[in-house]
Chain A
Amino acid sequence: MRRIWAILVALSVLMFFFYRIMPTLPEFGNVEMFRKSTFDIIHKSTKGPYDAREFKKSKNLEEGSANVVTSIVVNYRSFDTLGEVTVLFISAFGAGLMLGSLRSNRRITFDEHNVLITASGVALPLIFLLGSYVFIHGHLSPGGGFPGGTILALGILLLALARNDFQVAGTKYVEQISGAGYVVVGLAGLAISGAFLANFLPTGTLGELFSAGVVPFVYALIGFKVGAELAGLISDLREGGA
């Protein structure tokens, strides 16, 4: 009976979307970009007239990251990302808070295995390297702070799986510095360029490593923050909280 009701509810949600929302959406794969604000964002000409941009050639654009998604995430809509970071932060914090108030000691331990211990020693630097690469090159290639940070946290997870005596310490300080750093970058934009989260560094050439103004810095901060938060979350879930 319960399942029948569930099917009916799921169907009514489906019907609602099919009947009310879908008919108003454009055909799949047939979006008119000219009617979108992103058209100007892609060509990085939101403040000036339309101009075609080219990889490794266009210089000193209003926004310098080659990855347009990154330029939206960390520049045009950086405020959203600040909120996003906050979401992750507050839920990790909440998890720590709740796990810390558990009555029983529920530290999780595994059977240590030599293969894993040895392999983790080899893999860990590589994982960290990959993670750092991903968030440093966030403005050039797919990736960025969030995936990079997650990869860093995966390294910590590997250590936690491998060694029972491994404990994460100091994630809070990383979080503290990187989180506050993000807001400070934003406030610096307010102080220098007159708008919160504004870019106040030169944007360089499209596609170079040293380009895109504050974007790499912000992505690095996010990377560390996300890494620290997820590592903290892993540690909290394992240790039973702080």
Chain B
Amino acid sequence: MITLLIAVPLALAFATIPLRKLARLILPVVVLANLVILFALKPHVGKIIELGSWPAVYGITLFFDEVAFYFLSFVNMMFLVISLITRDERFSIPLLVMNAALNGLILTADFFNSFVFLEIIAITSYIISTDKDNALGSFKYLIFGGVASIFYLIGAVFMYVQGGTLNMAYSSYIIGMSNPELMKTALVLFAITLLVELKVLPFGLWVPDVYGNGSALTPVVLGSVVSTATVYLFSRLSLTFVDEHLPPVFYYTVLASIVLSQLGALYQKNLGRTLAFASMASMSTVVASLLTRQESVVSTALFYLFTDALAKFVLFTVYGNLGVANFRNAKTTGIAFTFSSLSLVGVPIFAGFWGKYYLLKALFEQENYVLAIVVLVSTLIELAYVTKWNIEQWFAKKETTKGEIENIDLPFVQKLFVLLSALILLVIGLFPQLLLDKTNLLAEKLFDFQLYRDIFFGKGGM
């Protein structure tokens, strides 16, 4: 039944090609239906679904467990919000396809299948990122994404050649038994591709041009939904199947990426590019935490990821629709923006604070002082520019010719969701345990390859 999450959006995307207006209306309904199906199937977590009823080793299987469930619900909820606030009917069909592909990416338990979904996501991303006449930025993204994606393809085939099957659990198990070093090699290949979507410098060099072009849709979709799904895949690959650390080159690159992208953000004179650099920095922080391979750190990294995605959603929505506006006449929007940006930095009583708090706590418990100091320093830089932009937007004199402050604001629906997200950040900030319990569970499951394997070998069908 969980296949409906992929099949229904795809079928409707195909079926509404000549009817774009209909696609615009169908999109939120489909995503809502996805959520309904998802929550209806919650009791069935911990199952595999063999597509075409072929045994897992030969065919393609979907894997539905708690981790996938929570990631799917987050992604689909974000998607619901995005579909409701996007009034541009041009991108409804790409969004439908992307929704199917994201669900597929999270559910699939097959190396080559995940490559296919990654490519679908990449192609829809290229299409969406041409919004606001940004063909050049999108082209750069396409070339770089295209070059990087060959590594994933080679990695998938490498797994097949070494393990004899493309099923993640079986081939990882076989290779892990015979020659664990090979898993690491495959993981390096996968990581090179995934780091492009994860926006780690230098793989994330395309981000500012694509995010910063002033489109509201591009950064929201790519930043909050695609990144989250990619983090899922990356953590699944690097934590569940492999027992070893990635080569230290990656770790140092990611550390440098955190600081350098914050400096890039500090330099920017354009809010969109600033936010783009900021999202590179926060995603690098998440990746750095994942690379530590410690359960407590990974749990907080996920906490950080979710709150960050929510905050970025608000920031990019406000920037994409209003540009640099004066919030004096758009107070609700302004408060949402300020709340989210403060949460981004990690100011107390907002969710972001607990993200950084638990992260630092976990890092210190593991005596990983380097990353902790990098996080603190990068937060300091972030604080400077976030404060700058907040003050700019509240106190700048953006006056029209008549000497009045510009009177622009978000439309009602967008304002509602932006405010809602900001309030969620506040609520999580007040009761962090709500989210932390979930991320702890996720981290525990992510590290449990034994369980993952047992589900396959025990053939829990659905």
Direct contact of A and B (CB under 8 A): yes
Complex: chain B residue closest to A93, CB-CB: B93
B130 contacts A46, CB within 8 Å? Answer: no
A90 contacts B124, CB within 8 Å? Answer: yes
Complex: chain B residue closest to A26, CB-CB: B161
27 intermolecular pairs with C-beta atoms under 8 Å apart: A24-B158, A25-B158, A36-B165, A37-B164, A46-B54, A46-B58, A47-B55, A80-B112, A80-B116, A86-B100, A90-B97, A90-B120, A93-B127, A94-B124, A98-B127, A98-B130, A98-B135, A172-B18, A176-B15, A179-B11, A179-B14, A180-B14, A183-B14, A187-B11, A195-B50, A195-B52, A198-B53
B123 contacts A94, CB within 8 Å? Answer: yes
Seed contacts A183-B10, A198-B53; 12 additional CB < 8 Å A-B pairs: A77-B59, A86-B120, A89-B13, A97-B127, A98-B130, A101-B90, A175-B17, A179-B15, A180-B14, A187-B11, A196-B49, A197-B51
**B73 proximal to A (CB < 8 A):** no
A20 contacts B123, CB within 8 Å? Answer: no
Give the interface size bracket for B toward A: 35 or more
Complex contacts, B13 vs chain A, CB 8 Å: 86, 89, 179
**B323 proximal to A (CB < 8 A):** no
B18 contacts A93, CB within 8 Å? Answer: no
Complex contacts, B104 vs chain A, CB 8 Å: 83
**B306 proximal to A (CB < 8 A):** no
**B162 proximal to A (CB < 8 A):** yes
Complex contacts, B160 vs chain A, CB 8 Å: 36
**B348 proximal to A (CB < 8 A):** no
**B153 proximal to A (CB < 8 A):** no
A175-B127 contact given A20-B188, A83-B113, CB 8 Å threshold: no
B60 contacts A77, CB within 8 Å? Answer: yes
Complex contacts, A82 vs chain B, CB 8 Å: 10
**B260 proximal to A (CB < 8 A):** no
**B117 proximal to A (CB < 8 A):** yes
CB distance from A167 to the nearest CB of B (A): 16
In chain A, positions 80-134 with a C-beta closer than 8 Å to chain B are 80, 82-84, 86-87, 89-91, 93-94, 97-98, 101
Complex contacts, B161 vs chain A, CB 8 Å: 25-26, 31
**A201 proximal to B (CB < 8 A):** no
Complex contacts, B94 vs chain A, CB 8 Å: 90, 93-94, 97
Complex contacts, A190 vs chain B, CB 8 Å: 3, 7
The 9 residue pairs across chains A and B that have the minimum distance between CB atoms: A179-B14, A94-B127, A83-B116, A183-B11, A195-B53, A196-B3, A37-B165, A180-B15, A172-B18
Q: Which of B11, B101, B130 contacts A184 (CB 8 A)?
A: B11
Complex contacts, B59 vs chain A, CB 8 Å: 46, 76-77, 79
A195 contacts B188, CB within 8 Å? Answer: no
Interface string of A42-76 (1 = CB under 8 A from B): 00001100000000000000000000000000011
**A208 proximal to B (CB < 8 A):** no
**A193 proximal to B (CB < 8 A):** yes
CB distance from B74 to the nearest CB of A (A): 22
